[in-house]
Amino acid sequence: MNFLVDFVEKSDAFEQLDKLKLFLFAARIKPATFVALKITPKNIGDKFHFEKHLKEKNIVFKVDKPKSYEEIVKIRKNRIVWAIKGTWYGYDLFRNKAYQNLFKKYVSYVKKGKKDKADLTAGRLYGYPSCCVKNYIKENDFDWVKKNYSYYEYYKKLHDVERKFPFIVHTACSAKCSASKKLNTQYRNIIKKMSPKFYKEFTKKKSFKSDFIVEGENNLLTEIGQTPLWIEKDGHEYNLIAAKKFNNHYYLFSHLTKDKVYAHGSLLSGKAEMQYNHADIKINKLKKIIPNILHIRQFKVLGRKY
């Protein structure tokens, strides 16, 4: 019996992708990982339990200071209301002290603004294929990105690799990446064996009908001036908020279209088809446009800065 795996399987403190990362780390596939542990009044004991299992396995770890996180709790007309749901702790786990030292090096590169060195180090820490790390570094250069992808091609690639390789947690260099394909199969087999319960949940197809609110459109922002990278666009990647709860949550989705144009605040009827960590949104029709969409919130989304 692996008590850590058993605990992670049952706990509500981790998002699915973090569970996946923890299993791959516990299988000694990944030398290091970072996960968020979310605590609400319903699972107050989980932090203590998690750390107990880490110590039992002699896992080297470092935990960040707690931060609050918010979720959408109510949508009424044009008002999207967020509220603090709980506290989250960031955990860095390492196979041994040597990897913890490598992580310290990574942080120092980030702090010094040595982006390429930082990304190469992160690739070693988290077990990413070198072709994907190299491509990631290239894509840090927005001029390169703009030369090599149209708006639609860029976002299409992100959706394609996510759909194609659901068991990997890095951004694959392309949907044809053979290293990612190999890892995806390897990880799938490991997860299936290690936690059949999680495997079943993760691979299960779920769908629900709902209205969706068009809330903004994605674009990369240039470092200088924070202006959108693509001015002329050959597609649209919208952020959609499901207006109805599913599994007790209001879900946020990204939705890519080649030729459909929706105004901010459009209310669309449709269906979300979810599997793994990905969702395809099938739009049925435009119902109306909600004017002056308003977010009522206090904090920014989950994230971390060094």
Binding residues for Zn ion (CB under 5 A)? 129, 131-132, 173, 177, 179
Give the Cα separation of 119 and 124 in Å (integer): 9
Give the Cα separation of 38 and 181 in Å (integer): 31
CB of 179 to Zn ion, least distance (A): 5
CB of 236 to Zn ion, least distance (A): 27
Residue with smaller CB distance to Zn ion, 136 or 251: 136
Phi, psi of 61 (to 5 degrees): -145, 160
Give the Cα separation of 181 and 174 in Å (integer): 10
Residue with smaller CB distance to Zn ion, 159 or 297: 159
DSSP H stretches of helix in 11-45? 16-26
DSSP H stretches of helix in 15-68? 16-26, 46-56
Contact 61, 36 (CB under 8 A): no
CB of 191 to Zn ion, least distance (A): 20
CB of 8 to Zn ion, least distance (A): 28
CB of 279 to Zn ion, least distance (A): 24
CB of 131 to Zn ion, least distance (A): 3
CB of 184 to Zn ion, least distance (A): 11
- Residues 6+ positions from 266 with CB-CB distance below 8 Å: 213, 214, 286, 288, 289, 290
Residue with smaller CB distance to Zn ion, 132 or 279: 132
Give the Cα separation of 41 and 63 in Å (integer): 20
Residue with smaller CB distance to Zn ion, 182 or 295: 182
- Residues 6+ positions from 134 with CB-CB distance below 8 Å: 173
Tracing tokens 């009044």 back to the chain, one arrives at: 41
Residue with smaller CB distance to Zn ion, 123 or 235: 123
Residue with smaller CB distance to Zn ion, 180 or 195: 180
Residue 232: how many other CB atoms lie within 10 Å: 6
Give the Cα separation of 207 and 201 in Å (integer): 13
How far CA 7 is from CA of 53, 145, 276, in Å, comes to 8, 42, 21
Residue with smaller CB distance to Zn ion, 177 or 272: 177
